[in-house]
Every structure is written in structure tokens, then in C-alpha cells.
Amino acid sequence: MVAEITQVKSPPAISSNRHYVSNRPPLAPSPLVKLPIGSIQPKGWLLTQLQLMKEGLTGRLPELSRFLREDSGWITLKGPGWEEMPYWLKGYADLGYILGSPEIVATSKKWLDLAFRSQQGDGFFGPPDNRKKRDLWPNMLVLSCLQSLYEATGDTRVIPFLTRYFRFEHGLPESDLLPESWQKLRGGENLESVYWLYNRTGEPFLLELAGRIYKRTADWETDIVNPEKDRNWELSGTYHGVNITMGIRYPAVYYQQTGDRKLLDAVEKNYGLVMDQYGRQPGGMFGADENIRPGHGDPRQGAETCSMVEFMNSHEALLKITGETRYADRCEEIAFNSFPAAMTPDLRALHYLTAPNLISCDSTGEHDFQNGGTLVSYDPWAYRCCQHNVAFGWPYFAEHLWLATSDNGLAAALYAPSEVTAKVAGGTQVRIIEDTGYPFADHIDFTVLTSAAVRFPLYLRIPDWAGEAAISIQGKNLSDKLQAGGYAVIQREWRDGDRIRLSFFPKITVRTWEKPGPSVSVRRGPLWYSLKIGEEWKRYGGTDTWPAYEILPTTPWNYGLLLDPGDPEAAIQIADRRPPAGQPFTPEAAPMVLKARARRLPSWKADGKMVGKIPDGLVFSAEPDMDVRLIPMGCARLRIASFPRVAGKSSEGGRAAPGG
Ligand SMILES: [Zn+2]
């Protein structure tokens, strides 16, 4: 390998970045550090998502949500006011800072000014009902909003306000600090904010408070989703999907204070436990249609939209704490494959549950989900928590594309078209333009802009799925094939206009899930593929401005893939590809279309409005062979992304299914 490129698992965690607030001792040094909001400008398809959010549900939510009206406890400071307003504000305000939207920034400030004004003598703030109920959960969300406000605008009220609030928490008797339920299960959010302030003020009482908060938070170290061992089962009586996507990272958050690597291991162990039982499906999520339910691990079980944005947020946090690229891979998998389909392409409506196998987004409730009523139709008026919480998915993703490294360089951690402006080395400001159609394109072009030549390390993530990758500078190939995982680090003196190309050579691969099934899923690079199903959009409610839609199938969905077990990829080819449009996440705009050999499976039938469970075993079908089209699952609102494997001949050992 040429000397100026090396490969590492993570940036070194031995010192602090000189320009951006990093962990302050004794907290474990941060390998990767978030840049202040505004340093990263999304472009291309990602910018389109943010612009659609502004014109769509997030930007105009006050027209729809009863929790954002004048009688909100966050305005009156009298009645109740719970998680909804701050859920929304957390994404809405960040959206405004990233887009530089004066209207959004002004509206956010109005809400935050009220939070400042509500602070009482002892430091508590927010609607008094929360105090009566000893419920600190909604305030945890406001803490995140205030951190963003400070990072984006430098508002001088934030630091003293947070200091007073944490003194209030520090003074609470133990029994009043996270006494029960949601706040106890979600205490790690509060913990992160305490560290955020400690890194800026260094006040020792904050570390003492952090220790108490972690101790009073539910146990996320012991095995989860295991009724014999999971102590959170006793606490709430459920394996709540959203709580798992949040809580799973908390031991790693506390690791920063103790340095005990067992806490990092606990995160991986619990991720494995959940995904092995309920996440045998493409798209980075696990089935929890409100709660995880034993026996409901089929890819037809949905994941809540809140779970997607929270899981992405957890992976972003774990990426910063550990520096390890697997968390970026997991975040991208959700962002590109599961999250876009949770919303309509115009980002004006969403639904509660999205599943890899979902053949009807109707409003009948004829689905085997834990909750009743409509959960899969796209309705801008419904789905109380998700309607607000969806707002922070794309903005937080955009804020983590680029991170500062402990050795005063920069890391391209998540990939999307963007531009970053940041200080490197001794303080030289550089700009790097990232020009790409990724995740739909196979290469990423970077251009370095700098007023003076400057030496700093540039870290480029090599995803786990990348069997090989290559880097060229000024068109000259600089590396042998790079290994998947970790980062390629380029150490050199960078000059204005230097051009780098990172190329991937993704192959179409087939993943077999032994249970349920066996089923198979098709992947190419960062994207999973699903059967293209005709969509009929049928309005069933809402208003003319904010309609609610069912999406119903107009073409068959019950196909199995015909694959040669010795060479499963041979039966799948690229049928069509083009550069991504502004909004690539629609069936028509799909930038890549694959074709695969398949047969109908007449025995695989709908179960109510829901897709039938994946048949158990290899299935024989006497139907004719045909080609089917596969599109990225993020483009598909109706989808089959986990297919049964079909045997072409009964002699292959296929089971003749009843009626098949
Ligand atoms: Zn939700």
C-alpha cells in the first residue's frame, strides 16, 4: 500500500480535538467529535429531504397538531405539556439552523424563550404538571433543543440555564430522580446532556449527578428481550420497541465516565440479542409493532417510525463514542432503506409502522399488530408521537455526515452529497465538497478547498459491505484494494483543489435468513431491494390540504425467487440505473432497478390485509419462470424485501405447499 494511506479501525482516542469541544478529562477521550450545527451543508437528494420537510409535515405541523396550539402547557406554563412539542422542536429547530431558515429559527426561538422564562428559582422548568408528576422525561428533549440552540447560535442563556437545571436534579432526593416508567427507561438522554455541559464548564458536581442518573436509569446492561433475565420487563411489563432503540446505547454513554469496556460489550450483546430474534430482515430494524412480541419475528411485523429515528440517533452517538464504523453502517442502513418509506415522498404524511414485507397500507386495521386501528395508512393527522418525533431523523443524520477527529483532522463518517467547513491542524479552515449520488452511486468525489497548504489526516469510512474499495487522488490510483470496515486515512499536505475519489465495487449479494423461512433478501452496496409492486393511492380522509391516503397493491406480490443455491447471485442483474433525482425515494424515480428470476407462489396468500408469514421451508411452484423487477426498498411503500426461496423442480427438495 502507498505510504500516505493507512487503514485503521477508529481514530485514536488519546487526546482532544483542538478546535471543537471534546470530552473533558476524566471522561474518555472522544475519537470523533460533532461539529457545530451549520458546519455541514447537505446537498443533492439529502437537501431535497430537508426542503420537503420544511414545506411538509415538520415545517407546518402547527397547522395539524393539537399539541402545538396556544393552550399547550409549554406556552401557558399552566396546563399539561408532555413530549410532543419538544419531540417536534428537536428536529424542527435543527432543520431551521441547517437550512438557514429565518422563519423556522424565529418560531423555534419563541418556544425556547418560553422554556427559558419558565425556569423556577430552584432550576426546574417547563409545564408545572410535569413537576407534580415528578416526570423529567419531557425536559430531557428540551435539553437537546437547547444544546442545538447553543451550537448554532451561541445563545448565552443556555449554559447558566442548564447549570441551574442540573443543580435542581442534583438536589433531588434519590426517590424523585427518575422514579419510574418512561423517564427511568430513557434516563440516558438526560445523562448525555449532563456530559455535554460538563465538557463546556467542567463543574465537578455534574459528574456526580451523571453517576446518580445512570444508577437510577433502568438496567440496559443485563440481557434484554429475555424474560428470565431482563429487568426492564419487570419495570414496564413490555419490550417496547422505541425504548430499546434508545436504551441500548446507554451503557456506552456511561462508559465515557468509567472507561469500563464491558459497558461497550453490553451494547453489542444486546444489539445482537434483539436483532438475532426480531431483526432477521433487511433495513436495519427489528419487528416491534409497539412492543416486541415473542413469536412475531416475521418480516411482516413493523417497526415504528419513532424507533427508526431513535435507532439512527443511537448509532450516531455510538459512532462518536467508539469511533467504530459499524455504527455508521447501521445508521445508513436504516436511513436509506427503512426511514424513507415511513413517509410519503412529499414528506407531508407518515405512518406508524413500516415493515420489510408490507403489501397493503390500508386503514382497516386488519393486520396482526399489537395496536388496533390504522397503523400503516399515510395520515398527517394521526400517529401522535411519530408525527412529532420524525422531525429529527434527517437533520441529525445531516449533522453527522462529517465529524472532527481527535488528531485534528476530519472524518467522512456517513456519506451523502454535502459540503463541510471546519478547522483542522493548527487552525486552518478548510472546505471539502462531497459530490456523489451515494447511496445510489458507487463513487464519491471530494474536493478540498483551502487558502493555504495544510497537513491533516482525512478519514474516509470503508463500509462493512464494501468487499473492496479504492482511492485515487488527482486521478492517480493511490491504494491497493482497501479492506472493508474501518477507515482509510490519508495523511498528506493538502492543497487547494485537491481531488479525491473513493470508489466502491459493490456486488449484488443474496442474504439467506434461515429463520423465518428460509427467506432471502437482495442487497447491493448500502441498499436492499424489494419487489416493485404497483401502487394505488386512495384518499380516505384528511383535508384537501392535508389528505390521508391508503396505498393498495395493483400487481401481484406473492413471488419466490428462483436461485441456484451454489450461485444465488447469477439470477439477478441490473436492469436499469440513472443518477438520483431530487427525491429518489419513489418507485418511479428508483435510481437502480434489478431484475430477478422468480415464480408466483399461489399458496402464499394474504392474511387479512397483511402478507402471509414467510412459508416454512423451500417451496415448490409449478408456475412459469418469469423476470420480476426489484427496486431499492426505501423507494417502495408496498414491498416484499424478504422472499421465500422457490424450488424450480420438485426434485430439488421443495415442499409442495397446499394449493401450490
Ligand atoms: Zn412514534
Ligand 1 centroid – CA 339 distance (Å): 13
In this predicted structure, the answer to whether residue 566 has a pLDDT above a threshold of 60 is: yes
- CA–CA distance, 434 with 432 (Å, rounded to integer): 6
pLDDT at 38: 96
What count of other Cβ atoms lies within 10 Å of the Cβ of residue 181?
14
pTM of the model: 0.97
CA of 387 to the centre of ligand 1 (A): 7
Residues with CB under 5 A from ligand 1 (ion): 304, 306, 385-386
394-448 per-position pLDDT tens digit:
999 999 999 999 999 999 999 999 999 999 999 999 999 999 999 999 999 999 9
Distance CA 311, CA 305 (A): 10
pLDDT at 238: 76
**CA torsion sign, 507 to 557 to 612 to 539?**
positive
Q: Is the pLDDT score of 230 beyond 90?
A: no
Distance 88 CA to ligand 1 centre (A): 12
Query: With 80 as the cut, is the pLDDT of residue 271 above it?
Result: yes
Question: Would you list the DSSP string of 582-635?
Answer: SS--STTT-SEEEEEEEEE-TT--EETTEEPPPPSS-EE--SPPEEEEEEEGGG
How far, in Å, is the centroid of ligand 1 from the Cα of 83?
11
Q: Residue 148: its pLDDT value, please?
A: 98
**What is the CA(310)–ligand 1 centre distance, in A?**
10
How far, in Å, is the centroid of ligand 1 from the Cα of 134?
A: 23
**What average pLDDT does the chain have?**
95
297 pLDDT higher than 50: yes
**pLDDT computed for residue 234 by the predictor:** 67
Residues 6+ apart with CB under 8 A from 281: 287, 299, 356, 513, 521, 641, 642
Give the integer Cα–Cα distance in Å for 599 and 431: 52
What is the predicted pLDDT for the residue at 647? 80
Instruction: Please tell me the distance from the alpha carbon of residue 187 to that of residue 284, in angstroms, as a whole number.
Output: 24
For residue 619, how far is its CA from the centre of ligand 1 (angstroms)? 37
pLDDT, one tens digit per residue, over 602-660 is: 999 999 999 999 999 889 999 999 999 999 999 999 999 999 999 866 545 445 443 33
| Cα 90 to middle of ligand 1, angstroms | 14
How far is 317 from 352, CA to CA, in rounded Å?
A: 24
Question: What pLDDT does 657 receive?
Answer: 44
CB burial of 398-431 (b: ≥16 within 10 Å; e: otherwise) equals bbbbbbbbbbbbbbbbbbbbbbbebbbbeebebe
Q: Percent of the chain beyond pLDDT 70?
A: 97
Polymer length in residues for the chain: 660
Distance (angstroms) between ligand 1 centre and the Cα of 308 equals 9
Written as nine digits, the cell of 658 is: 397446499
Q: Determine the distance separating the centroid of ligand 1 and the alpha carbon of 36, expressed in angstroms.
A: 28
pLDDT value, residue 649: 63
- Comparing 15 with 401, which gets the higher pLDDT? 401
Q: What do you get for the CA distance between the two ends of the chain, in Å?
A: 55
Ligand 1 centroid from CA 385, angstroms? 4
Burial class (CB in 10 A: 0-12, 13-18, 19+), 509: middle
Give dist(CA 128, CA 70) in Å, integer.
Answer: 16
Write the pLDDT tens digit of every residue in 537-560: 999 999 999 999 999 999 999 999
Q: Which region among 23-27, 435-439, 464-468 has the lowest average model confidence (pLDDT)?
A: 464-468
Helix extents (H) in 382-446: 384-389, 393-399
